[in-house]
Structure 1
């Protein structure tokens, strides 16, 4: 009887986590569908130049965003899972730190705007998007819901806001609204999401008015968070610097053509994140049982990531030219060649996400930051060299090369990480699949 009760309890717990994950996956899939429909329509309506201005402003602000979030969500979630006793102090301190981070962001944006040559509209958009980071500070509530296995209270406001926002975008397109209204709508998305989370938080019997700030806890949180902040800053620069550099070297039209390709290429990046997060506990458990089992499961994860990456690449290469014209129109004709190059970076991104989990499993996060930093610097250097020669195609090649360097090649140079390089190479060349096929 006792064994059956334990089995039933485990089954209920599994279903609870499965339901929790399904909310997150469902939201991502719906967002992908909207991005490939309403999002594409907005891009087509704005055209390369206005869409380029919008994308440049978003990329510019995104480079500084890590100083707002401070990598605190995962740390706060970890502490809440351990104990709910200091919940209000933990959430209040995290909120206060993120708000101070937003102040720092606004100071950085103000200084850079003073010295740049952007037009008034571009700088106005940058300021609006910078101010939105203050609203994002309420995102610490999501850590509470994740810790309580109640992701639906994060997903539901996002989905409702997505529906409202999509309808408003259609209205703006039909009414031939100017670019700035789409910027206001982006700010509305964030405000609605945070308001929804606050509402659900209060419905759960909690109150943000009970939050308190602790200087002692702030130092403790920052002590744990600084590697994540550094990693986030590196990733932000790594992922967004190309669009900023294209703007400075070529102008808004080129940014628009390039960004349209990037959005299609990166639309799939949520897949490895969710899959690796779901399979990571099984890999950690395998490490506790057997080294051979651990390495087998890890290799299978790399194999799966490489396989999924190539599965996405192949149809994109086949249909890119027709698909881009169909989705965006003739004005974005240069987007297809960029997409054909940029999409290959996804294979290395998929492997990189799996490799980051391995870094965590082996407690080698410092090497992860080092690999990402090398990738970031290589991306900047290749952009500086290739954009003047090949334009936006050069930026796509720079992304592809730097992703390979950061995700696959760099681990080869360090003894502690070298094994992951060989495992990823086996995956890229489908060594294990070929062995099964030919029964070697």
Structure 2
């Protein structure tokens, strides 16, 4: 990695990787206990609420994350204006969404899950502070991000352990999601206030800049909305055809593969993105070499994840989860190969961000969404959770690999990298 990436890039990746490894270790020991304490039905309810509200995430995030990081790298002197404008845009967006959720689930619609919807929706207010992370990523200050996230993780894991030992309800664990975002944001704020890279008192909404950011981010926001919909499709079909128990089983598979595994690849790609953006501006040949090297690293990591769960998936489920979760084995053996495909798409998306060609994200995720809807409708009634795993895997293949070969320009660029 160090032959094409600088020492600073390598250090940035090291901190991100170490964070995910620590999350993996703690997750292996505490999250299965939470799943077993709550049972498949309550876990299914909590995850379903998270997924339903997750469909609004693109409207809350506004596609600004990658765009702001890119703009801070390209225009470092405008960093305070970019961050403050992004903050106020997202604050207004959250207010509108929260008021809508509160009116619908808190007043208009009587539902046993209303309180969960309000709690999870509130957590997005504190997630506003992840705009501080945009700046830290652009500056490659990943050690600060590591310290913040590990401190937050330590506190939350301790509280989760307390909840497991005392057999507390699903509401308690939902409230920990709010607390997680709050603690992380508060630590970011304290660190940046201490280092003083900019003055918070001077933050204001720059509307012309805001319009420019929203215009650039619009394709990413649309594609993210499509992503959230097609990720949620499986849970919607599972709940309709089978029920909360099936969603609890599938949530276990997603936890093992997504939360514990492919987040490692996601963190590496994110850590190295500033280096890719710099090379894209300054050295095309080096940029090509970095893309190729990153592809190779992710192919190795994706294959390792697939092999890990193929050979040890049954052992992990039997040792760390209760007997009711053993049904997750077959879906896990299918879904565990999705990181290998997803990592390719993640790198492709970073390339689209650099080339300002994000409209293709809309097209490729629309393709994946259509494939997932059709396959879920056909497979879930017959194969149940296994059908959902097959549908998601094939939709990921359509989105992240098939589309690149169908699109003429992407195919030509891909061949030029080989």
TM-score, normalization: structure 2?
Answer: 0.87
Aligned to 2:188: 197
Q: Which consecutive unaligned segments of at least 5 residues does structure 1 have?
A: 1-12, 427-440
Aligned to 1:236: 228
How many residues get paired? 413
Deviations 1:325-376 (A, max 9, x none): 2111211121111101111222211222233344446554322331122102
Aligned to 2:170: 179
- CA positional deviation for 1:169: 0.9
Preserved CA contact (<8 Å) 2:249 2:328 = yes
Aligned to 1:393: 386
What pairs up with 1:426-437 in 2 under 5 angstroms?
A: none
- Identify if the C-alpha distance between structure 1 residues 195 and 276 changes in structure 2 by more than 3 Å, giving closer, same or farther: closer
Aligned to 2:53: 61
TM-score, normalization: structure 1?
Answer: 0.83
Question: How many Å separate the matches in 2 of 1:287 and 1:85?
Answer: 17
Question: How many Å separate the matches in 2 of 1:384 and 1:105?
Answer: 30
Question: How many Å separate the matches in 2 of 1:279 and 1:146?
Answer: 9
Which has the higher Rg, Structure 1 or Structure 2? 1
Give the one of 15, 19, 40 matched to 2:11: 19
Preserved CA contact (<8 Å) 1:321 1:336 = yes
Aligned to 2:329: 336
Aligned to 1:348: 341
Deviations 1:117-172 (A, max 9, x none): 9842x221122111211221122222232333323333322211110111111111
Aligned to 2:304: 311
Question: How many Å separate the matches in 2 of 1:419 and 1:47?
Answer: 49
Deviations 1:83-102 (A, max 9, x none): 56554443322111101221
Q: Which consecutive unaligned segments of at least 5 residues does structure 2 have?
A: none
- Whether 1:38 and 2:38 are equivalent positions in the alignment is no
Question: How many Å separate the matches in 2 of 1:147 and 1:398?
Answer: 36
Question: How many Å separate the matches in 1 of 2:288 and 2:70?
Answer: 27
What pairs up with 1:257-296 in 2 under 5 angstroms?
A: 257-266=249-258, 267-277=260-270, 281=275
Q: Secondary structure in 2 aligned to 1:416?
A: helix
- CA positional deviation for 1:187: 0.8
Aligned to 1:154: 145
Question: How many Å separate the matches in 2 of 1:18 and 1:134?
Answer: 33
In terms of mean alpha carbon deviation, does 96-105 or 238-247 score higher? 238-247
Q: Secondary structure in 2 aligned to 1:149?
A: coil
For CA contacts below 8 A with separation 6 or more, give which structure has more relative contact order.
Answer: 2
Preserved CA contact (<8 Å) 1:411 1:420 = no
Q: Secondary structure in 1 aligned to 2:157?
A: helix
- Identify if the C-alpha distance between structure 1 residues 289 and 55 changes in structure 2 by more than 3 Å, giving closer, same or farther: closer
Preserved CA contact (<8 Å) 1:59 1:241 = no
- Whether 1:90 and 2:92 are equivalent positions in the alignment is no
Give the one of 304, 310, 322 matched to 2:315: 322
- Identify if the C-alpha distance between structure 1 residues 232 and 401 changes in structure 2 by more than 3 Å, giving closer, same or farther: same
Preserved CA contact (<8 Å) 2:344 2:400 = yes
Question: How many Å separate the matches in 1 of 2:51 and 2:33?
Answer: 20
Aligned to 1:432: none
